[in-house]
Structure 1
Amino acid sequence: MSARRAVLTTTIGNFVPPLISLVCAPMLARGLGIDGRGAVAAAQAPLILAAGLLAIGLPDALTYYIAQHRVISAAVAKSSASAIVLVGAVGMVAIIALSTPMSHRTPSIAHLITIGSLPLIPTLWQLLVRGVAAGMGEWNRLAADNLIGGIAKLVAIVVALSIDALSPLVATVIVTTSSLVGLLAYLPGKPLARGLRNDDEGPKSKEVLSYGTRVWSGSITGVLLIYLDQVLMTPLSSSTELGIYAVAVSISQVPLVFNAAVRSVTFARESTAPNLQRMAQSARISTAITAAAAGAVWLVSAQLVPLLFGHAFARSVDCIGILVVAVVAGSPGVIAGAGLGALGRPGLRSAALAIACVANAVAIILLVPPFGAIGAAWATVIGNGLAAFVTIFWMRKAFGQPALEYLGFTRADLSRLADLARVRARPETAEAS
């Protein structure tokens, strides 16, 4: 599959989760109210955070080595899966143990957090399968994964509403388990099995674990950068503020769809044949499209949020305006970070994210207690902007690539963008210039 086709397919697949979230968000908001919606967000956030923290970099490591060698040994696959089960079990116990302080000592929310932690191990397994699929270039299956999981979530919420059974507990079960239905996209598994061998061909477990460990530190800080505010919102402020913020986050993620697709394809493709200029152009085009989408989301949210969610959620509009700025500010750094990983320097990306995460955490602690959801949104701007700045700096420091190549928009970019938008199909073997 060509890079252009891969980006298009992945964009469509990545568009499904935020689209489904947008459709489901008003139903959850009106069916549960602000406090109920906040309670579900409080229950879901630890699972999402733990899944990112405890994947120990193995999904990206599998993508990297399969993209390079087109194969890994079955022993590597088994050891990766075993490691995931072990850390997943530890993570689940930790979430349950911390459920009371994370819930601001609210028993009902602590119970939801416990329930929400139960799908952690299968969620981690799903991340491993996605890593293998990305390395094999199985973009259609990855898109189908998102589509199936999204439809399962939508259908479950609609059914629960129709029979008047939607409660914080039911909603928590739905939002934490529905994505796992997407694993059906990998059946039958023969295409993925082509990347596995019973002999010792390809990288060893030690190599994969070493790369994964270097990615892991970045994954930890990256996930913290995205989800720490939602985990800390309830203890630092209230579930009501988290309800407002959760709605804003679900809407502000829409502009990230294309950026996330480019990031996935860039990492897999550049791991095989790195090209610095191509990476920078991908970042510029991705940022331009993300900015246009962010502007559109901000313009329509003022009218649609009160209409769809109710006037109780009107304060989410202010958060959306701030969060879309954060999305655009972080966009070029996302692609530069994928480039660092593809060039075998994931540690530099990890260092950039660690710096940004510390700044974000300090901002959350300082801004959330007095300003609630608005404070969390500004903390996200600080974290995303700093992450992008430091990541691009590392590309310049390590590979001599001028930082300005990741910013702005050139005539060549416009031509490339027009090429991406053409409906006319190209041969599958064609590569993007």
Structure 2
Amino acid sequence: MGKLRQRATSEKARGVVLYGLGPALGILSGPILAHAMGAEGRGQFASIMQPITMAAAVASLGIPSAVAYFIARGRNARDCYRLGILLGVIPTVIVAIVMVFYGRIVSENQDIPYLLLLICWSSILVSAMVQIRRGAWQGVGQWRLLDIERGAGALLRFLFVVVVALVGITSASYFAAAALISFVVSAAILFIPLPKEESRGGDWASMGKYSFLASIGTISTIASSRLDQLLMPAAASAKELGYYAVAVTVAEIPLVLATLAARNSLQKAAKGASNSAIVRECLVFFGVCVVAVLAILVAAPVVTPIAFGSDFGPSVVPMQILAVSSLLTWIVVVASSVLSGRGYPGVGSIISIVSLGATVLAFVIFWSSISSLTAAAIALCSSAAGAVSGIFLLLKLPRPRQTVVLRSAKERLT
């Protein structure tokens, strides 16, 4: 028992370190990007990169969560993955068409070549497939592979950005290309063969229904945290977006730990774990998250002008506001994940829908005066609304009786 506990602790530590490479190296690369491109160029870089995350979430349509859920419940991993890819074809095509039209607006407002945007945004197709593959490995419980993929992606992205900067390039397009290439290269590791088990056939009806319900929560969660960055290229100047992008780069550090907690809690919830067991599973992640938020609040006024340059002084207050918002978003993400893991993706979606609704309403009200500070305040209010909803549902909704699929200890720890 002691060895199992020690193994679980070491796995959590590995996850924190490798997933933490992203924000850690993001902090190091942030000043490089800021000094190389300036506030306006940094805003253009965000205009290219940020819509990709949101669009890929819509394209995958909750399928990664469905794949993870059914595999964790004992379904064949390869069957679930293939079915997930087939289910993702139509939403991915629809998203691609929408982005072609949205690209015109961003191109004109941010002075970015339209063709360049389309080339970069074509990675949305790859990203949607990668997310489904991650869902498959999440269902299997192969945390080591997922940790390595995220860590390798962060390291490659940092190295590629440094190389571009050392060459003396100042164009946002080259830095965007470096980031996207690093993502594709690191994600290749996920495409090693999934475990080979006896095929049990596909279940279009069950997975399709779960994916649709889960998509509401998945899309709403990402939309509520990313919608500001998706809409700002059309509503604000490149300079304001540059300030906001720097603030987000630092303030979203705690959300990396939310990803770790969410992936573990979904699988455990699908296996029938209680609220108290899931809290124990996430406690280390949440503790580190709180420490990270406090560090940002204290250090931001001193470190930001030094690291990013005096031009980015307006990023300090939005950064502090967004740090607190990240802590609340952490609660939203994990609560939604637990409810989805218990087979209630529709109920879990209510949390993020509340948060998204608050974001949309605030943007409509303040559309003509959107700045980095306004956007940060909107993010805080929407996260607070979602967190309150999440806590309420977890406390009020009883844990359903369900048949837990048992596996050997060796398989669970693979």
Both structures adopt the same fold (TM-score exceeding 0.5): yes
Letter in 1 for 2:340: G
Q: Which residue, 193, 196, 206 being the options, matches 2:195?
A: 193
1:134-213 equivalent positions in 2, closer than 5 A: 134-186=138-190, 189-190=192-193, 192-194=194-196, 197=198, 199-200=199-200, 204-213=203-212
Quote the offset at 1:112 in angstroms.
4.1
C-alpha deviations, 1:181-208, integer Å up to 9, x for none?
1223236x24x233x54x325x613211
Which residue number corresponds to residue 9 of structure 1? 14
Q: Which residue, 37, 43, 48 being the options, matches 1:38?
A: 43
C-alpha deviations, 1:141-189, integer Å up to 9, x for none?
10111122122211211111222234111112122332121223236x2
Alpha carbons of structure 1 residues 347 and 4: separation in structure 2 relative to 1, 3 Å? farther
Quote the offset at 1:217 in angstroms.
0.8
Q: Distance in 2 between matches of 1:107 and 1:307?
A: 29
Q: Distance in 1 between matches of 2:8 and 2:72?
A: 14
Quote the offset at 1:353 in angstroms.
0.9
**1:96 has 2:95 as partner:** no
Which residue number corresponds to residue 310 of structure 1? 309
C-alpha deviations, 1:334-354, integer Å up to 9, x for none?
322221111111111112211
Q: Which residue, 52, 57, 60 being the options, matches 2:57?
A: 52
Counterpart contact for 1:218–1:349, Cα < 8 Å: yes
Q: Distance in 2 between matches of 1:216 and 1:371?
A: 28
Quote the offset at 1:4 in angstroms.
3.4
Which residue number corresponds to residue 406 of structure 2? none
Which residue number corresponds to residue 413 of structure 1? none
Counterpart contact for 2:18–2:148, Cα < 8 Å: yes
Any gaps of 5 or more consecutive residues in structure 1?
402-427
Which residue number corresponds to residue 121 of structure 1? 125
Moved more, 332-341 or 2-11: 2-11
Letter in 2 for 1:54: A
DSSP 3-state at the match of 1:273: coil
Letter in 1 for 2:95: G
Alpha carbons of structure 1 residues 389 and 352: separation in structure 2 relative to 1, 3 Å? same
Which residue number corresponds to residue 422 of structure 1? none
Counterpart contact for 1:322–1:377, Cα < 8 Å: yes
Which residue number corresponds to residue 290 of structure 2? 291
Which residue number corresponds to residue 233 of structure 2? 234
Quote the offset at 1:73 in angstroms.
5.3
Q: Distance in 2 between matches of 1:262 and 1:105?
A: 38
Q: How many residues align?
A: 400
Which residue number corresponds to residue 416 of structure 1? none
C-alpha deviations, 1:253-307, integer Å up to 9, x for none?
1122333212211111221132122234456664443222101122122222111
Q: Distance in 2 between matches of 1:73 and 1:138?
A: 14
Q: Distance in 2 between matches of 1:184 and 1:250?
A: 25
Letter in 2 for 1:269: K
Q: Distance in 1 between matches of 2:166 and 2:278?
A: 48
Q: Distance in 1 between matches of 2:312 and 2:355?
A: 29
Counterpart contact for 1:283–1:332, Cα < 8 Å: no
Q: Distance in 1 between matches of 2:64 and 2:399?
A: 29
Q: Distance in 1 between matches of 2:190 and 2:256?
A: 22
What percentage of residue pairs aligned between the two structures are identical? Answer: 21
DSSP 3-state at the match of 1:399: coil
Alpha carbons of structure 1 residues 73 and 138: separation in structure 2 relative to 1, 3 Å? closer
**1:71 has 2:71 as partner:** no
Letter in 2 for 1:313: F
**1:251 has 2:234 as partner:** no
C-alpha deviations, 1:221-257, integer Å up to 9, x for none?
1111111101111222211111000000010111223
Alpha carbons of structure 1 residues 176 and 85: separation in structure 2 relative to 1, 3 Å? farther
Moved more, 167-176 or 41-50: 167-176
Letter in 1 for 2:93: A
Q: Distance in 2 between matches of 1:93 and 1:177?
A: 23
TM-score for both structures, normalised by structure 2: 0.89
Q: Distance in 1 between matches of 2:148 and 2:283?
A: 28
Any gaps of 5 or more consecutive residues in structure 2?
401-408
Q: Distance in 2 between matches of 1:368 and 1:296?
A: 32
Counterpart contact for 2:157–2:178, Cα < 8 Å: yes
